């Protein structure tokens, strides 16, 4: 009977969730909002459709574990170490400032220091699940604000452990010594896990892969994921943080991509249940009866988290627009706050009434997050453009550096200095084409200047920055950044400033192509379809399709904005010249003349080659040089490579004749 009740609950969850997500998808509302609303409808405070709520919450915890595990897989330990400034510097400041501001506000309301500090712990955490999912869908994980958001989120997840350890002290049930001992255990298990990333796990996976059993590989990955999560939880760490460490462990092996593909179906299946379970927690009756109070809490949380994010970025001298953008991304309460809140209620640190107020406000911040992230590029750009905020730009020593525009003419402006920007600059330098670079990453600017690169700090969306680089006298502008919204703004601003400028923009997705063309780009290179073009070009070359035919087809595709590749059927015969239909029917064979062949030293005229074989020699390659239009008095030598065309029967005769001297 228990199984039937569970299956009934699962069918209800999937059915209602699918309907809500489908309806919201039609009006372009993110699926996360749909899952949260579905949970509110299904839960004990909605229509009471679910009976197995504890089982659903268990699945939700599994979803969070798998989410953090895949983030660890994609992140890698080396990248984690490279981002130590973002994680421990900016992330540390963010958490400390948030706790301080929240404590100050909450103490005025509750008049209890322990409770106020604990609420600061709750507000200091942002939602890794929501922010990472939305940034990944928007292809913004590699942008500057994406990297800063990720670094802060990782530090917040690390803080779950000490926050949990402080609960007994706040409730008066524990002491500092117990805290130090537990924290020492946590550090020890982290060190062991990271040590295994280099010495144990890669060797283990190597042995597993050599069994050629995919089932065994998947089971091993799941054991590592849940096993390390379980072990770390036994030493006082959270399950989710343990899963993240497990992902870091596997990310250092050569089998990380196989592990990611194995775990993704599980993550996507369980992850939706997490958001549903969060929605189920919200008491709609309490929310309606205390609407004004909850709304005040929501606004207060947004303001505190925005101010904390901006100050932490500002103090670390991050760009103004990126600081605003990142702060908006993290202005919600995190999923681990609910775990802390439950522990706080159980320990008596906060009352049940405060818990419900916090819960209602937190779920609303999650509901609003997809819309805030969607509009954050526009809002951050507008806010950073105000003259009143310009004095807050911390990198004035780089921003004020003037470019000698008098000597710059017909030069190339490169916006963004990632892999594509560096490769382009290397080629331009090699052939002495003048160029300048605009980059928003301060460390990159300082490092590259030491190496002699003409690189300047600035935001390409601002027309002043483009003018400093001589946009009016430039010949080409190349935009190679990962931020799609900024790319569109740069193209539009540059086109207005210089109508004759040739603008090349790179984008990850083909859906951006038409917008970029409309805004003024002359050439748009979507990574998705350029890879496709390279693949089919190589295939056609292998089938000996003439190079002119291939290049004409590729030019047509690019000229039409890749519309051909977006159609279900490609009318290829309209675009390929008629001669290809003829050339594709020809048989061409390559024959090498052996040293003992009877035809060595004899001419085509003596051999009566065409008369006897019916085939035609179209070229001969000798000593690395190709001779076309072979004359009748041409004599064969050992090692000559003869290109013959004709019918299959004629080519067979030609091969026998050239090798054996008879037919």
| Residue stretches of the chain with pLDDT short of 50 | 1, 396-400, 568-569, 572-575
Number of domains present in the structure of the chain: 4
Same domain, 462 and 573: no
The confidence score (pLDDT) of residue 339 equals 74
Domain boundary among 505, 521, 537: 521
Domain boundary among 559, 583, 607: 583
Distances (CA, A) of 515 to 7, 319, 485, 505, 650: 46, 27, 11, 11, 55
Same domain, 199 and 218: yes
Same domain, 615 and 541: no
For 392-450, the pLDDT digits (tens) are 665 544 444 555 555 678 899 999 888 788 888 888 888 888 899 998 877 788 888 88
Inside any domain, residue 411: yes
Q: Is 617 buried (19+), middle (13-18) or exposed (0-12) by CB count in 10 A?
A: buried
Question: Are residues 328 and 373 in contact, defined by beta-carbon separation less than 8 angstroms?
Answer: yes
The confidence score (pLDDT) of residue 398 equals 45
The confidence score (pLDDT) of residue 119 equals 92
Inside any domain, residue 288: no
For 483-526, the pLDDT digits (tens) are 777 888 899 989 999 998 999 898 876 677 888 888 888 888 87
Domain boundary among 477, 498, 521: 521
Question: Are residues 593 and 640 in contact, defined by beta-carbon separation less than 8 angstroms?
Answer: yes
CATH value at residue 427? 3.40.50.720
Distances (CA, A) of 616 to 41, 340, 585, 642, 656: 79, 83, 15, 10, 14
Same domain, 600 and 464: no
Same domain, 416 and 541: no
CATH value at residue 622? 3.30.70.1450
Inside any domain, residue 38: no
Same domain, 113 and 257: yes
Q: Which residues pair with 663 in a beta bridge?
A: none
In angstroms, the CA 284 to CA 261 distance is: 39
Same domain, 216 and 310: yes
Same domain, 632 and 491: no
Alpha carbon distance, N-terminus to C-terminus of the chain = 84
Inside any domain, residue 292: no
Same domain, 597 and 553: no
Same domain, 93 and 176: yes
Same domain, 450 and 551: no
Q: Which domain holds residue 577?
A: 529-583
CATH value at residue 236? 1.20.1530.20
Q: Is 38 buried (19+), middle (13-18) or exposed (0-12) by CB count in 10 A?
A: buried
Inside any domain, residue 35: no
Inside any domain, residue 39: no
Inside any domain, residue 6: no
Inside any domain, residue 42: no
Same domain, 372 and 402: no
């Amino acid at each position: 009977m228990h199984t039937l009740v569970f299956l009934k609950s699962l069918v209800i969850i999937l059915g209602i969730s699918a309907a809500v997500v489908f309806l919201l998808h039609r009006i372009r509302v993110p699926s996360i909002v749909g899952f949260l609303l579905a949970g509110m409808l299904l839960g004990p405070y909605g229509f009471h459709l679910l009976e197995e709520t504890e089982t659903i919450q268990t699945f939700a915890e599994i979803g969070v574990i798998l989410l953090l595990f895949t983030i660890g897989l994609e992140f890698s330990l080396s990248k984690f170490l490279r981002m130590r400034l973002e994680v421990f510097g900016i992330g540390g400041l963010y958490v400390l400032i948030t706790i301080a501001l929240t404590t100050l506000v909450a103490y005025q309301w509750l008049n209890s220091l322990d409770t106020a500090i604990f609420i600061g712990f709750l507000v200091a955490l942002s939602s890794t699940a929501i922010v990472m999912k939305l940034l990944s869908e928007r292809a913004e994980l590699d942008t500057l604000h994406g990297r800063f958001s990720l670094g802060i989120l990782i530090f917040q997840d690390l803080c779950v452990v000490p926050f949990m350890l402080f609960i007994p002290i706040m409730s008066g049930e524990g002491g500092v010594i117990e805290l130090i001992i537990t924290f020492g255990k946590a550090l020890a298990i982290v060190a062991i896990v990271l040590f295994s990333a280099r010495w144990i796990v890669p060797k283990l996976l190597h042995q597993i892969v050599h069994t050629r059993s995919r089932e065994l590989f998947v089971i091993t990955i799941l054991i590592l994921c849940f096993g390390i999560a379980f072990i770390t939880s036994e030493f006082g760490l959270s399950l989710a943080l343990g899963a993240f460490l497990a992902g870091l462990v596997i990310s250092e092996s050569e089998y990380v991509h196989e592990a990611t593909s194995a775990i993704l179906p599980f993550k996507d299946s369980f992850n939706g249940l997490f958001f549903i379970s969060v929605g189920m927690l919200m008491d709609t009756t309490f929310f309606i009866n205390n609407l004004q109070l909850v709304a005040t809490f929501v606004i207060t949380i947004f303001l505190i988290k925005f101010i904390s994010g901006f100050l932490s970025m500002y103090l670390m001298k991050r760009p103004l627009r990126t600081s605003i953008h990142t702060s908006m991304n993290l202005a919600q309460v995190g999923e681990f706050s609910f775990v802390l809140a439950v522990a706080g209620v159980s320990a008596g640190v906060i009352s049940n009434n405060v818990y419900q107020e916090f819960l209602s406000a937190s779920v609303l911040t999650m509901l609003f997050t997809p819309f805030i992230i969607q509009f954050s590029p526009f809002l951050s750009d507008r806010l950073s453009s105000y003259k009143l905020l310009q004095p807050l730009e911390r990198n004035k020593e780089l921003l004020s550096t003037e470019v000698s525009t008098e000597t710059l003419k017909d030069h190339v402006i490169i916006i963004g200095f990632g892999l594509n920007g560096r490769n382009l600059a290397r080629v331009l330098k090699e052939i002495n084409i003048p160029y300048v670079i605009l980059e928003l990453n301060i460390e990159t600017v300082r490092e590259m200047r030491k190496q002699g690169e003409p690189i300047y700090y600035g935001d390409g969306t601002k027309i002043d920055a483009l003018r400093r680089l001589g946009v009016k006298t430039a010949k080409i502008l190349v935009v190679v950044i990962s931020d799609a919204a900024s790319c569109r703004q740069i193209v539009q601003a540059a086109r207005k400033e210089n109508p004759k400028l040739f603008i090349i923009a790179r984008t990850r997705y083909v859906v951006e192509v038409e917008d970029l063309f409309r805004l003024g780009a002359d050439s748009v290179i979507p990574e998705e379809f350029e890879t496709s073009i390279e693949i089919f070009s190589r295939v056609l070359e292998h089938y000996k399709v003439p190079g002119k035919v291939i290049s004409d087809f590729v030019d047509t595709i690019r000229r039409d904005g890749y519309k051909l590749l977006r159609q279900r059927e490609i009318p290829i015969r309209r675009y390929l010249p008629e001669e290809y239909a003829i050339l594709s029917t020809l048989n061409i064979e390559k024959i090498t003349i052996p040293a003992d062949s009877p035809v060595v030293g004899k001419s085509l005229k003596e051999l009566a080659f065409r008369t006897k074989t019916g085939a035609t020699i179209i070229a001969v390659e000798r000593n690395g040089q190709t001779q076309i239009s072979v004359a009748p008095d041409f004599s064969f030598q050992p090692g000559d490579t003869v290109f013959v065309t004709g019918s299959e029967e004629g080519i067979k005769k030609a091969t026998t004749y050239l090798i054996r001297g008879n037919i």
